[in-house]
Amino acid sequence: MGIRVLLVDDVVDVRRLVRTALRVRGGFEVLGEAGDGSEAVRLAESLQPDLVVLDLGLPDIAGRDVLTHIRDVSPVSKVVVFSGADTPDRSWITERVDGFVLKDSDLEYLVDLLESVGQRRDNEATLDLPRASTSAGAARRFVTQIVTEWKLEQLLDDAVLVASELATNAVTHADSSCRIRLSLSPAALRIDVIDEGAGTPDPRAAGSTDEHGRGLLLVAALTTAWGLEVLPGDGKLVWAELTRPT
């Protein structure tokens, strides 16, 4: 099966040009095309493509918003922006997509990038979570979807619990939005949660009447290993690994 692609651009000729280039290269399957943001979100949700080629200059929904909506409804999809002009919030967008190409670039470069990004789809998935009480639930749904697709149901309950605890820790104690990333190696399923908050997580014993405080002890008990990495600038990455069943 080829890399499954959704093309999003309000210019029909651009969609046709990219579609033709993908067909000539081979290894791609264009599942659908959208000319506005609303249709893009609807198709992303129904088709669950491997890859979305996204124009930011759509007529109905702003670029940041359509990207956020696509990430929400199809968290496993990779997104490559193919835009006619640079944007003031490019740094924000670049952090949340898998590639950013201006339309004055060589089309061959775009196709090379799409091929590279599409081939990485089987061993890594990410989801951005807001600083909100709903993030733990979103993390649980995301992990359930990805772990099930990776056919690691034996790890599902532990992975969901670990991801929920780490996301809750980032939102509640670090007071930060966060990014959850799942990656797969031959030996383990790894869960990363990246936030921009101050302080470091520290397992501590909770009293019998405490409502909180057991999360990291639970993570330590369920996982093969876990740890923390301080990132350049502000922020940290908390990681945990679950051994894959033989």
Query: In this structure, what CATH number is given to the domain that contains residue 35?
Result: 3.40.50.2300
The domain boundary, picked from 88, 118, 148, lies at 118
In 112-126, which positions are buried (b, 16+ CB within 10 angstroms) versus exposed (e)? ebbbebbeebeeebb
Residues in a beta bridge with 182: 125, 191
Which one, of 201, 186, 197, 191, lies nearest residue 234 by Cα? 197
210 near 169, Cβ under 8 Å? Answer: no
Q: Specify the CATH number for the domain of residue 136.
A: 3.30.565.10
Q: How many domains does the chain have?
A: 2
Query: What are the helix (H) ranges across the chain?
Result: 12-25, 37-47, 63-73, 90-94, 107-118, 135-149, 156-168, 215-222
How many angstroms from the chain centroid is the CA of residue 197? 20
pLDDT in tens, the chain (246 residues): 589 999 999 999 999 999 999 999 999 999 999 999 999 999 999 998 999 999 999 999 988 899 999 988 888 788 999 988 777 878 888 888 888 999 988 899 899 889 888 876 457 888 888 888 888 888 999 999 889 888 899 999 999 999 999 998 888 877 888 889 998 877 889 999 998 876 665 555 444 444 444 567 889 999 999 998 887 666 888 999 999 887
Q: Output the pTM of the full model.
A: 0.55
Q: CA torsion, points 9, 82, 57, 67, in degrees to nearest 10?
A: 90
101 and 160 belong to one structural domain? no
Identify the pLDDT of residue 203. Answer: 52
Identify the pLDDT of residue 205. Answer: 47
34 and 142 belong to one structural domain? no
Which one, of 33, 81, 79, 41, lies nearest residue 57 by Cα? 81
φ, ψ of residue 55 in degrees (nearest 5): -85, 135
Identify the pLDDT of residue 123. Answer: 77
Its domain, for residue 215, covers 124-243
Sheet holding 3-8, edge to edge: 28-34, 3-8, 51-54, 78-83, 99-102
Identify the pLDDT of residue 208. Answer: 44
28 near 22, Cβ under 8 Å? Answer: yes
143 and 82 belong to one structural domain? no
